[in-house]
Amino acid sequence: MGTINKTLKQLLLPLICLLIVLLINLIKSPTFFNIGMQHGVLYGRLIDILNRGSEIAILAVGQTLVVAVSAGTDISVGSVMSLSACGTCMMLAGYGVNSTTQLMVPLGIGILFGILLGGVCGCINGALVSKLKIQPMVATLILFTAARAIGLLLCNNQITYIRYEPYKYLGNFIPGCPVPTAIFVTIAVIAVVTLLLKKTALGLYIQSAGINSRAARISGINSAMICFVCYLICGLCAGIAGMVASSRIYSADSNNIGLNYELDSILAVALGGNSLGGGKFNLAGAVIGAYTIQAITTTLLAMGVSTDQAPVVKAIIVVIIVVVQSPTFKEWFANTEAKRRALAAEGGQKA
């Protein structure tokens, strides 16, 4: 019971932030919350947030584990997304083909290949960080630079289009289902990782290795292995996010898929109240953080803020959220609150 309360308390601030962003929308335009059915599918801004936030949420799941275990970030996730999208499209269309309506290999194999490419990238990052003890940012910088370029090579420097209807399902709708498929994918990823953390001791191991890797090793935990596994999961998540992003535009646009997503995913982890210094982590917080970022993006689009200026507004909101959640601010707030109460009590006594 106690632990549940504690988790709830941790989630409270990220949740409040998300609600405030949504509340601003409610005041600005009440139609923001309209959800309707159109042509048999759900339609509305809230659905947009859930749908479009999928990639960041999936990335945030992997990123949280990486941050927790290694006190560093995987900055290659955006590029890996692009690489796995290119890999899949290259498999499906054949090398050098830039638009196809017929698949060279079954759809499932293509998608599996893309996700596996993500996994391979995760393994490379994991090996560099856990076995060779390279700083995470430096280690992942390699694929940050190289993965996108390898993707370009796979696609023969072109945008490869897969004009095959079922390929669009993952990022859009499965016929007859009113909910965007990306939402199901996100739920599945979160569920699998949560089960992995709760039903095995992995969650505990990650925390121990993150707090003190030596101490964890001495107490019998294979810290390096745990670290490797986290990077592997992060890579797989990037692969899955890449599939969703590629399916949305039924093509592999290697220059633009996942561009700047690594930053959004790190931000999501931070917004979720997780310390970037590693150790304890909160998966739900990171997912809420991801949707907060998407809510801000959707809000700015809805309010007609020019897309060039949007990052500035976004930055201001993020700064406020991060400041409110910082320990120093919390302490200051608690102190002023205590002083005010003390003063009130004194005043009461004097009167």
Q: Please identify, among the stretches 144-152, 189-197, 198-206, 316-324, the one whose residues bind another protein according to the rule CB under 8 A.
A: 144-152
DSSP 159: P
- Helix, strand or coil, per DSSP, at residue 156: coil
Asked if residue 48 binds another protein (CB under 8 A), the reply is: yes
Provide, rounded to whole angstroms, the least separation between the CB of residue 133 and another protein: 10
Nearer to another protein, 37 or 204 (CB): 37
Asked if residue 211 binds another protein (CB under 8 A), the reply is: no
Interface map 220-249 toward another protein (x if CB under 8 A): -------------------------x--xx
- Which of 219, 256, 260, 336 touches another protein (CB under 8 A)? 256
Asked if residue 349 binds another protein (CB under 8 A), the reply is: no
214 alpha carbon, distance to own chain's centre: 29
Residue linked to tokens 């659905």: 47
Provide, rounded to whole angstroms, the least separation between the CB of residue 200 and another protein: 30
Asked if residue 179 binds another protein (CB under 8 A), the reply is: no
Please enumerate in sequence order all residues whose Cβ is within 8 A of that of 38, keeping only pairs 6 or more positions apart, or say none. Answer: none
- Which of 3, 27, 39, 214 touches another protein (CB under 8 A)? 39
How far apart are alpha carbons 30 and 16 in whole angstroms?
A: 19
Question: What letter represents residue 286's amino acid?
Answer: A
Asked if residue 260 binds another protein (CB under 8 A), the reply is: no
Please choose, from the candidates 268, 296, 54, the residue with its C-alpha nearest in 3D space to the C-alpha of residue 180: 54
Nearer to another protein, 256 or 336 (CB): 256
Nearer to another protein, 127 or 324 (CB): 127
Three-state SS across 310-328?
A: HHHHHHHHHHHHHHHHCHH
Asked if residue 102 binds another protein (CB under 8 A), the reply is: no
Instruction: Look up residue 34 and give its two tokens.
Output: 């309209």
Which contiguous run of DSSP H or E holds residue 161?
strand 160-162
Nearer to another protein, 306 or 328 (CB): 306
Instruction: Look up residue 21 and give its two tokens.
Output: 């962003």
Instruction: Look up residue 179 and give its two tokens.
Output: 């909910």
Are 83 and 148 in contact by the 8 Å Cβ rule? The answer is: yes
How far apart are alpha carbons 240 and 229 in whole angstroms?
A: 17
Are 124 and 147 in contact by the 8 Å Cβ rule? The answer is: no
Nearer to another protein, 109 or 134 (CB): 134
Using CB under 8 A as the binding rule, the residues of this chain from 301 to 340 that contact another protein are 301-302, 304, 306-308
Provide, rounded to whole angstroms, the least separation between the CB of residue 248 and another protein: 6
Asked if residue 35 binds another protein (CB under 8 A), the reply is: no
Provide, rounded to whole angstroms, the least separation between the CB of residue 33 and another protein: 11
Which contiguous run of DSSP H or E holds residue 295?
helix 283-302
Q: Per DSSP, what are the bridge partners of residue 42?
A: 37
Nearer to another protein, 196 or 303 (CB): 303
Asked if residue 132 binds another protein (CB under 8 A), the reply is: yes
Asked if residue 158 binds another protein (CB under 8 A), the reply is: yes
Instruction: Look up residue 30 and give its two tokens.
Output: 């009440």
Are 136 and 70 in contact by the 8 Å Cβ rule? The answer is: yes
How far apart are alpha carbons 275 and 261 in whole angstroms?
A: 19
Name the residues that contact another protein, by CB under 8 A.
Answer: 31, 38-39, 41, 43-45, 48, 52, 98-99, 128, 132, 142, 145-146, 148-150, 152-153, 157-159, 161, 172-173, 245, 248-249, 251, 253, 255-257, 298, 301-302, 304, 306-308
